[in-house]
Amino acid sequence: MRMCECTDRLLYVSLMCIWVFHAAQTFSPDLICLTIPSLNAQQKALCRQLPKAMNVLVNATLAYTDECNWQFRKDRWNCSVGGIPIFASKIAFNRSREAAFTYALVSAITAHSITSACANSLLGSACGCDTSMSALTQLGWDWGGCSHDVNYGVQYAQSFLDARETTNQTTDIGTAPVEVVNLHNNAVGRQTVQDYMQTSCSCHGISGSCTVQTCWRQLPEVGAIGDVLRQKYEAAAMVRVDIPRDGSPASLYYTDSMQNPVAPSSTEMVYLEPTVDYCSQQSNYTLNRYCIPRSNMTSYLGGYYSTCEDLCCNGQYVTVKTIRTYSCNCKFIWCCNVVCSTCTETMVQYKCTS
């Protein structure tokens, strides 16, 4: 798990997830699925079919929050979407580039989490390892071990998340422009997981001679998926949606290709409207976010934080000093004691005031 600053929003998500986890341990499947907020009829049906998956989605929600915070640690947008992304019926700013990233990352992490749960036997007999790969390959090694069944994870993520893309008037999926875009970005997230599956191998033979290799397919790290999706976010394209009146599938086209319509690729993140100015929407939007004054930037390695001047609304920030006490200069005294001195250090941090 990547390390990110703690926020009230993360605490809210954590508490909500704890409640869902407790419900999954305590109540019957029907009651669990009725009490989880914002699930529609199709999602409740999926919940009743596999109630153990709700625990997996709880962990996926926390993984999403952690990864999104890490990817946008230097940006004004703080990953807030007006609810818990996996369980929310809709999210805030749902036409923006940030919404596109949210849908893609939620979809990817849901597929990743369900696939991992299958490999670790957390979903009972519903799924397990991918047994479709077997026998000797042309490269001279055997498929073996527990290949992660990414197809099952992708199918579950598609069924659960795509089901929420319905209008208030109909149960048909993808009948409004924003729903069509959300479905596209859901697919981008799932495809990213599939595209970055890895092959891992172990050697067998006398004294590690590797005369025989056994290989299996393995999920990429969540951080690797997040990095790829962040790149897709940066390259995302604004599109328009053409929904035919005859009920045939909708089409996406770049907004700058009106006369000769050009469609985005299936792996490209898309959005409908430009990003809002979060500081104009809420003057204290970046309140209490950590930052580094531009004049001090060279003394901080790793580039974890953004500059206060760029991150904070109106560039305003305060200096916060705290004193940390810790054991130091420890010595071993025969026999058998460890004696330490007490040291202190002053920690200087900077926080946005608006």
- At 233-288, the pLDDT tens digits run 999 999 999 988 887 888 999 998 778 889 999 999 999 999 888 888 787 889 98
> With 90 as the cut, is the pLDDT of residue 9 above it?
no
Task: Give the pTM.
Answer: 0.84
- The CA dihedral of 16, 37, 42, 147, to the nearest 10 degrees, is 0
91-110 pLDDT, tens digit per residue, is: 767 789 999 999 999 999 99
**pLDDT given at position 8:** 47
**pLDDT given at position 230:** 97
Beta carbons of 149 and 129 less than 8 angstroms apart: yes
Nearest residue to 61 (alpha-carbon basis) of 85, 89, 79? 85
Residues 6+ apart with CB under 8 A from 130: 147, 148, 149, 150, 151, 152, 217
Q: What does the pLDDT average to over 13-38?
A: 63
> With 50 as the cut, is the pLDDT of residue 169 above it?
no
Torsion sign, CA atoms 19, 25, 26, 27: positive
**Rounded CA separation 144/146 (Å):** 6
**pLDDT given at position 20:** 57
111-137 pLDDT, tens digit per residue, is: 999 999 999 999 999 999 887 766 555
Structure tokens at 267: 């792996």
**pLDDT given at position 254:** 93
**pLDDT given at position 6:** 45
**pLDDT given at position 172:** 60
Q: What does the pLDDT average to over 158-177?
A: 74
Confidence at 337, pLDDT banded by 50, 70, 90: confident
**Rounded CA separation 150/130 (Å):** 8
**Rounded CA separation 64/85 (Å):** 8
Continuous segment of H or E residues that includes residue 185: helix 177-195
**Rounded CA separation 323/257 (Å):** 58
Domains in the chain, please, with CATH?
A: 8-275 (no CATH), 290-352 (3.30.2460.20)
* pLDDT top residue among 55 and 143: 55
